[in-house]
Chains A and B, each alone.
Chain A
Amino acid sequence: MQNRGRLGLKGARAQEWLAANGVIAPAAANSWTLSEAGAGTEGATDALLVARLGTSEFFVEGAASAPAMVKMSRLLDSASPGVYPVTREDWGFELGGEQVHEVLAQVCDVNFAALRLDAHPLVMTLMIGVAVLVVPLGGLQYRMWCDPTFGPYLSESLGAVVIECGGSYTGDRG
């Protein structure tokens, strides 16, 4: 997933800070939402993906050039008390298609097929030994992130499984 900007923040006042910057965060822990605050002239596809990790940590992804992303990245460095920046250089990628659940079943013990997508669940789990953040987008599409130092291993290993299941793998990191 190229040209995506990411930032993270945590703290007792992190949600407040996001709201002050026009970003709506999900109310429930371990869930995600799309916030229009970052939408550029291109429309909804530029919305920011906002994930709530636990109770007081947030992960935000959007177009690197989105005004909201640029502004928040700058402001986080000198954020107010109770708001702490979390450096996010994640390796991001997407997995999707008819065989996606077969691939996921070979690398993870979460039953993704049984998730109730209307609740916008966010899954934090291990995938072949690597901690990952997974957002089910619906329509058999999943967006995932991991520590960048595990990125090549996870990407290559998943790619091998994808190819064996008859899929294709581009290997681009985002």
Chain B
Amino acid sequence: MYRLEAPAGDWLDRSRPLRFAFEGREYPGYAGDTISSALAAAGVPFLARSFKYHRPRSILSFADHDSNTLFQVDGVPNVRGDVTWLREGMRVSAINTFGGLAGDKARVLDRFGRLLPVGFYYKAFHGRRLFPRWERMFRALTGLGEVSLNAARQATPKRHGFCDVLVIGAGPSGLSAAMAAADNGASVVLVDEALKISGNGAPPALLAAVRGAASISLRPATVAAGYYADHCVALASLDRLTKMRAKAVVFAGGAIEQPAVFRNNDLPGVMLASGALRLMERHGVAPGRRVVVVAANLEAYEACARLGARGVTVSAIVEWRAAPENGPAAAACIARGIPVIQAHAPYEAIRGPDGTVAGLLAVPVNAAGGVESGAPRRIDCDAILMSVGWAPAAQLLLQAGGRMRFSEALQQFVPQELPPGIFAAGRLNGIYDLESRLGDGRRAGSAAAHVGFSAASRPDAADEPRRPTPPLPTVGFDEELRVGERRPSHPFPIVDHPDGKNFVDFDEDLQVKDLENAAQEGFDSSELLKRYSTVGMGPSQGKHSNMNALRVLARFRGVGVERLGLTTARPMYHPVPMKLLAGRSFHPERRTPIDAQHAALGAVWMPAGNWRRPEYYAVPGESRAESIEAEVHAVRSGVGLIDVGTLGKIEVHGPDAGELLDRVYAGKFSGLKIGMTRYGLMLDESGVIVDDGVIARLAAELYYFTTTTGGSATVFRELLRLNALWGLNCALVNVTGHRAAVNFTGPASRDVLRALTDVDLGDAAFPYLAVRCGDVAGVPARLMRVGFVGELGYEIHVPAGFGPTLWRALYEAGRPRGLRAFGVEAQRVLRLEKGHFIVGQDTDGLTDPFEANAMWAVAMQKPFFVGQRSLKILAARGPRQKLVGVELAETARLPKECHLIIDQGQIAGRITSIARSRALNKSIGLAMLSPELAQVGRDIQIRIEDGGMVGGRVAAAIFYDPENRRQKPGAAA
């Protein structure tokens, strides 16, 4: 390849030369070049190594439809060279090489092709002993590009888009469809994957009209990467992903040129004719000095004419068909003196000394359509352009639910049935003549603009004449209309060769025999063939290989292609950089109203669901463990303060409020005295514990209750559902985020709180488990005397806006008594000492109240509650496991949560919670254990990370104050 000197309306700005490096060597280029075009212009012989055999490769499609031109650029992997603008100073290197492109050590694999047939990895490398070695080898050998773990995060502005009609493809039919839709009053978005929209042969006046239409948004360099329900299409641009929601979609993405299959059709210098034209007309790069065109359609001759117009010499046309091409384009080629070698097929591309193509062997085609390989004719050349056929860019149409049928006349699949709101136009619809494509586009665009409207006109087109919905069919023209038209695709552009290397899928290095071998092994449907051979699973997703693969399979099975059907590629249809999918990586985070106070106190944060909570409060001079221990000690000996605002908080109002709670919780609440609280255990239909909390009765028809931090949304949603189902006379209000809550606890808590509140805190007026309303530090509050951490304490709930005021007041009042704020870790230790389980940590998805020793919270005698029937069944069955306390014999090696308990070589349980307890001077925990072992005093063995065993003993789960003296009247008066 070489740069054409005379500029002729291409995309280059020759006044702005650029310099870049490829494989460590500097090359020139221009502004307006892509990476591939600049390398081609510089005459770089090959740009890549193929996936499996590491054969040298160069430009094939120049449309980003193959993986020959993926590069590593400035540390970014898999940059698509065909569609990435060249920049000054770029550092480009090939991917999938070991030791550089030229000296790639893995190129020896090409010689061992016979040992690497299709699916070879299913038949070898699975011996247990050596598998780890093979796994490491394959991981090193396979994959494309290198990911840098130190790369900077690139946030992209993902957005939503809305339009009446989305048109995919800005060729003649797409431009025509967009204009027709706009003329009918629709808002239109027109996308095309090309870096610039040039119309691809459409009339310049049409392109100008589209550019000037106010209601058409033109988006070049944008790929429609996937179709989702309700006409939602993912559009991937250079810098962002747009989730476009349209009322109708016109698929006008055209057809993708297909390669001819012959030996060495992957040599550098062998490319698709359309790719060569794009390279030449957009970037001024000629494909070669002696070009041979392999032809099987009119486009081949049109390509020759366009090449000739730029001064590129076409040495010969190898015409595959028996009958000559007629018409002006063919006549022009003959007039130019280009020899047409009729009824000949390409047999083998000849490799030159530099690894690029040096010639073509052509062989006669016989009457049956096969080839006579006995006397090949050699044609010297430095470029082979293939123009033998097309396949529709129909994958998104298939994702949208469209059904295709195979047209024998066209030798391509065409739409047969399309869902409502989906339209197809142009080559994708089997229309190839330019005027017909323009008309087809008008039909589709006009029909799309009328989606959702009656036979009357669109209401927005006030100035437009009222038009009826077009009567034309939503799919393309009848087959009869296509008869007599030219045939754009050869029915079987595949030539067998005894030495193989006739590639069907360039991305996956698959030859004809690979597909035949797969079919022979029984993988003989299009779906099975794809999965076993990986055809169509590379970066191109079958764009250049699916059709030929179907032909090979059809021949093998002796059936027509129409019997096999197309596979549907799943989104993303085209490679999309991960940064576009990640967008800005929004991570919703909740903060309690007291967040700023925690930060001021040196909180070390931890995630708790989607909340951020203080894990502990860092104090200079203290380690993490020391701080947590000190926080625990403060609670046990004086007073501590923790923000529990993350708890779910729900109110239920109304005459049936108590009835609702009776049904959804296992305990009884309709009889709860006003001013008292009770622990609530929530089960699901199978009797499994799903949540817990404290339920307070504030008034005859008002209950206020808490849920776990992680369960608030789920519980509220479920209560709403059940309330709607049961039709009870009550209303639910979720105030989780609208109320702040703290737990003020410790032997000195009552003393300190007295000074801040008008509520009588005496044991008689405010007994254990009571709830009172009053002011605390001037803030209207609900106070609940509960004992989660096992000390005298008060959970105080206030409107969220008053949270900081409440915290500051309690904190300042408590400091003279040694108050410390305590965080989640200290709370975990405190409640563990008290034997209180945490739903979801000490219970799992199968734990019922029998197993958790929580039947005391269940009122089985109620008429009904969720899970009641299952509990009756479970009672008869007996528990599978029991939640027990554990004391550890030694504390040097503390097991972790989820470490297994082993008995006689079998798993007998697991640790669910564990901590060192300074108050008790030992390590304690909770564990799920087989019932047979769950006796107090029983010794157990726990397996820790290094495989070693640590001894423990089953203990009563309530380690601290088992008789609850800290809560009884007179406690810490």
Q: Which residues of A contact B (CB under 8 A)?
A: 10-11, 81, 84-90, 102, 105-109, 111, 113-114, 128-130, 147-150, 152-153, 157, 160-161, 164
Q: Which residues of B contact A152 (CB under 8 A)?
A: 589, 591, 595
B446 located at the interface, meaning its Cβ lies under 8 Å from any Cβ of chain A in the complex? no
Q: Is B159 within 8 A of A148, CB to CB?
A: no
Contact A149:B737 (CB < 8 A) given known A128-B586, A161-B157: yes
Closest beta carbon of chain B to A151's beta carbon, Å: 8
Which of A106, A128, A149, A160 gathers most chain B CB within 10 Å? A149
Name which residue of chain B comes closest to A112, CB basis: B162
Q: Which residues of B contact A129 (CB under 8 A)?
A: 586, 588
Give a binary string over B723-739; 1 marks a CB under 8 Å from any A CB, 0 the rest.
Answer: 00000000101011111
Contact of A164 among B157, B588, B738 (CB under 8 A): B157
Q: Is A128 within 8 A of B162, CB to CB?
A: no
Contact of B737 among A107, A128, A147 (CB under 8 A): A147
Q: For the complex, what is the distance from the CA of A161 to the CA of B159, rounded to whole Å?
A: 11
Contact A105:B159 (CB < 8 A) given known A10-B733, A11-B731: yes
Contact of A153 among B590, B736, B738 (CB under 8 A): B590
Q: For the complex, what is the distance from the CA of A157 to the CA of B583, rounded to whole Å?
A: 13
Q: Which residues of A contact B655 (CB under 8 A)?
A: 81
Q: Is A88 within 8 A of B245, CB to CB?
A: no
B632 located at the interface, meaning its Cβ lies under 8 Å from any Cβ of chain A in the complex? no
Q: Is A89 within 8 A of B157, CB to CB?
A: no
Q: Which residues of B contact A89 (CB under 8 A)?
A: 737-739, 799-801
B526 located at the interface, meaning its Cβ lies under 8 Å from any Cβ of chain A in the complex? no
* CB pairs A–B below 8 angstroms (15 shown): A10-B733, A11-B653, A88-B738, A89-B799, A113-B162, A129-B586, A149-B591, A149-B593, A149-B611, A149-B645, A149-B800, A150-B737, A153-B589, A157-B586, A164-B157
B369 located at the interface, meaning its Cβ lies under 8 Å from any Cβ of chain A in the complex? no
Closest beta carbon of chain B to A55's beta carbon, Å: 12
Q: Is A84 within 8 A of B591, CB to CB?
A: no
B105 located at the interface, meaning its Cβ lies under 8 Å from any Cβ of chain A in the complex? no
Q: Is B731 within 8 A of A109, CB to CB?
A: no
Which of A84, A85, A86, A128 gathers most chain B CB within 10 Å? A84
Q: For the complex, what is the distance from the CA of A48 to the CA of B243, rounded to whole Å?
A: 37
Q: Is B591 within 8 A of A87, CB to CB?
A: no
Q: Is A128 within 8 A of B588, CB to CB?
A: yes
Contacts between chains A and B (CB distance < 8 A), count: 87
B61 located at the interface, meaning its Cβ lies under 8 Å from any Cβ of chain A in the complex? no
B158 located at the interface, meaning its Cβ lies under 8 Å from any Cβ of chain A in the complex? yes
Closest beta carbon of chain B to A14's beta carbon, Å: 10
Give a binary string over B143-178; 1 marks a CB under 8 Å from any A CB, 0 the rest.
Answer: 000000000000001111110000000000000000
Q: Told that A84-B651, A153-B590, A161-B584 touch, could you supply 18 new A-B pairs with CB distance under 8 A?
A: A84-B731, A85-B733, A87-B799, A90-B738, A105-B160, A108-B160, A109-B160, A111-B162, A111-B245, A147-B590, A148-B738, A148-B801, A149-B590, A149-B736, A149-B737, A150-B590, A153-B588, A164-B157
Chain B positions 200-216 with a Cβ under 8 Å from a chain A Cβ:
none
Closest beta carbon of chain A to B280's beta carbon, Å: 39
Q: For the complex, what is the distance from the CA of A149 to the CA of B593, rounded to whole Å?
A: 7
Closest beta carbon of chain A to B165's beta carbon, Å: 15
Q: Is B157 within 8 A of A87, CB to CB?
A: no
Contact A148:B243 (CB < 8 A) given known A10-B733, A87-B733, A89-B738: no
Q: For the complex, what is the distance from the CA of A111 to the CA of B588, rounded to whole Å?
A: 22
Q: Which residues of B contact A160 (CB under 8 A)?
A: 584
Q: For the complex, what is the distance from the CA of A107 to the CA of B651, rounded to whole Å?
A: 31
Name which residue of chain A comes closest to B701, CB basis: A81
Name which residue of chain B comes closest to A147, CB basis: B737
A-B interface, 7 closest residue pairs, ranked by CB to CB distance from nearest = A147-B737, A129-B588, A89-B800, A149-B737, A84-B653, A149-B590, A111-B162
Q: Which residues of B contact A114 (CB under 8 A)?
A: 162
Closest beta carbon of chain A to B883's beta carbon, Å: 32
Q: Which residues of A contact B586 (CB under 8 A)?
A: 107, 128-129, 157
Q: For the complex, what is the distance from the CA of A152 to the CA of B159, rounded to whole Å?
A: 22
B654 located at the interface, meaning its Cβ lies under 8 Å from any Cβ of chain A in the complex? yes
Q: Is B595 within 8 A of A130, CB to CB?
A: no
Determine chain B's interface SS by DSSP, over half rule.
mixed
Q: Which residues of B contact A (CB under 8 A)?
A: 157-162, 243, 245, 584, 586, 588-593, 595, 611, 645, 651, 653-655, 701, 731, 733, 735-739, 799-801
Name which residue of chain B comes closest to A156, CB basis: B589
Name which residue of chain A comes closest to B652, CB basis: A84
Contact A130:B588 (CB < 8 A) given known A87-B799, A89-B800, A111-B162: yes
Q: For the complex, what is the distance from the CA of A87 to the CA of B611, rounded to whole Å?
A: 21
Q: Is B157 within 8 A of A148, CB to CB?
A: no
Q: Which residues of B contact A153 (CB under 8 A)?
A: 588-591
Closest beta carbon of chain B to A58's beta carbon, Å: 13
Q: Which residues of A contact B159 (CB under 8 A)?
A: 102, 105-106
Q: Which residues of A contact B589 (CB under 8 A)?
A: 150, 152-153
Q: Is B737 within 8 A of A105, CB to CB?
A: no
Closest beta carbon of chain A to B973's beta carbon, Å: 33
Q: Which residues of A contact B731 (CB under 8 A)?
A: 10-11, 84
Q: For the complex, what is the distance from the CA of A153 to the CA of B612, rounded to whole Å?
A: 11
Q: For the complex, what is the distance from the CA of A108 to the CA of B162, rounded to whole Å?
A: 12
Name which residue of chain B comes closest to A130, CB basis: B588
Contact of A87 among B158, B590, B645, B735 (CB under 8 A): B735
Q: Which residues of A contact B801 (CB under 8 A)?
A: 89, 148
Q: Which residues of A contact B645 (CB under 8 A)?
A: 149
Q: For the complex, what is the distance from the CA of A123 to the CA of B973, rounded to whole Å?
A: 54
Q: For the complex, what is the distance from the CA of A61 to the CA of B586, rounded to whole Å?
A: 29
Q: Which residues of A contact B584 (CB under 8 A)?
A: 106, 157, 160-161
Name which residue of chain B comes closest to A150, CB basis: B590
Q: Is A87 within 8 A of B739, CB to CB?
A: yes
Q: Is B157 within 8 A of A106, CB to CB?
A: yes
Q: For the complex, what is the distance from the CA of A90 to the CA of B733, rounded to whole Å?
A: 14
Contact of B243 among A88, A107, A109, A128 (CB under 8 A): A109
Q: For the complex, what is the distance from the CA of A164 to the CA of B655, rounded to whole Å?
A: 52
Q: Which residues of A contact B738 (CB under 8 A)?
A: 87-90, 147-148
Q: Which residues of B contact A105 (CB under 8 A)?
A: 159-161
Q: For the complex, what is the distance from the CA of A149 to the CA of B649, rounded to whole Å?
A: 13
Closest beta carbon of chain A to B421's beta carbon, Å: 17
Q: For the complex, what is the distance from the CA of A157 to the CA of B737, rounded to whole Å?
A: 19
Q: Which residues of B contact A149 (CB under 8 A)?
A: 590-593, 611, 645, 736-737, 800
Q: Which residues of B contact A109 (CB under 8 A)?
A: 160, 243, 245
Q: For the complex, what is the distance from the CA of A42 to the CA of B160, rounded to whole Å?
A: 41
Closest beta carbon of chain A to B726's beta carbon, Å: 16
Q: Is B162 within 8 A of A148, CB to CB?
A: no
Q: For the complex, what is the distance from the CA of A89 to the CA of B651, rounded to whole Å?
A: 15
Q: Which residues of B contact A85 (CB under 8 A)?
A: 733
Q: For the complex, what is the distance from the CA of A152 to the CA of B737, rounded to whole Å?
A: 13
Q: Which residues of B contact A150 (CB under 8 A)?
A: 588-590, 737
Q: For the complex, what is the distance from the CA of A84 to the CA of B650, rounded to whole Å?
A: 13
Which of B584, B738, B739 gathers most chain A CB within 10 Å? B738
Closest beta carbon of chain A to B945's beta carbon, Å: 36
Closest beta carbon of chain A to B556's beta carbon, Å: 47
Q: For the complex, what is the distance from the CA of A147 to the CA of B655, rounded to whole Å?
A: 28
Q: Is B162 within 8 A of A86, CB to CB?
A: no
Q: Which residues of A contact B588 (CB under 8 A)?
A: 128-130, 150, 153
Q: For the complex, what is the distance from the CA of A62 to the CA of B736, rounded to whole Å?
A: 23
Closest beta carbon of chain A to B308's beta carbon, Å: 48
Closest beta carbon of chain B to A156's beta carbon, Å: 10
Name which residue of chain A comes closest to B802, CB basis: A89
Q: Which residues of B contact A164 (CB under 8 A)?
A: 157
Contact of A148 among B654, B701, B733, B800 (CB under 8 A): B800
Q: For the complex, what is the distance from the CA of A128 to the CA of B589, rounded to whole Å?
A: 11
Contact A106:B158 (CB < 8 A) given known A89-B800, A128-B586, A153-B588: yes
Name which residue of chain B comes closest to A91, CB basis: B737
Q: For the complex, what is the distance from the CA of A11 to the CA of B702, rounded to whole Å?
A: 14
Q: For the complex, what is the distance from the CA of A144 to the CA of B6, rounded to whole Å?
A: 60
Closest beta carbon of chain B to A167's beta carbon, Å: 14
Closest beta carbon of chain B to A77's beta carbon, Å: 9
Closest beta carbon of chain B to A105's beta carbon, Å: 5
